[in-house]
Amino acid sequence: MSYSYEYPRPAVTSDIVLFSNEKVQTEVMLIRRKNTPFEGMWAFPGGFLEMDETLLACARRELEEETGVKDIELEPYLPFDQPDRDPRGRTISMVFVGFKDASGINAAAASDAAEVQWFSINNLPSLAFDHDKIIQGLLKKYAGQIKK
């Protein structure tokens, strides 16, 4: 299928926030970015939507490509669409959320992730893009499910 547009179009991404409530405190899975922008910084797994896939399919593909994790139930949270959220250009991201005990996940960095690690929500590193805003909103929304 060929696409022709009269108006500029933003890029679209899916980001995945995967929580583990297995331990005393809730943890979140982050990847260390291998590429620019924000090379070396921590971020949620995620990436660009392909023309022939849904946002959920993109989220599942990116999660598997970057961490090897698959078969996780993901639910949509919110789109994030601030015009300056990505220095590469206008990018809109749909955020998906999942809950799975870390012990049931064998994650390994791949694709454009240099490293995968679980972090306590009480001790998060500096995050790339607007991922700090995303996590703060999720901590409020899921306050009853998240152990601090």
Catalytic residue among 39, 50, 53, 115: 115
Active site residue 115: yes
Burial of 2 (0-12, 13-18, 19+ CB in 10 A): exposed
Where does residue 111 fall: left (phi above 0), alpha (psi -120 to 50 degrees), or beta otherwise? left
- Please state, in angstroms and as integers, the Cα–Cα distance from residue 143 to each residue in 48, 105, 135, 136, following that order: 29, 23, 12, 10
The number of residues in the chain equals: 148
Between strands 27-33 and 11-20, the pairing is antiparallel
Give the alpha-carbon dihedral of 139, 137, 44, 72, to 10 degrees: 60
User: What DSSP character marks residue 143?
Assistant: T
- Point out the residues that are catalytic: 115
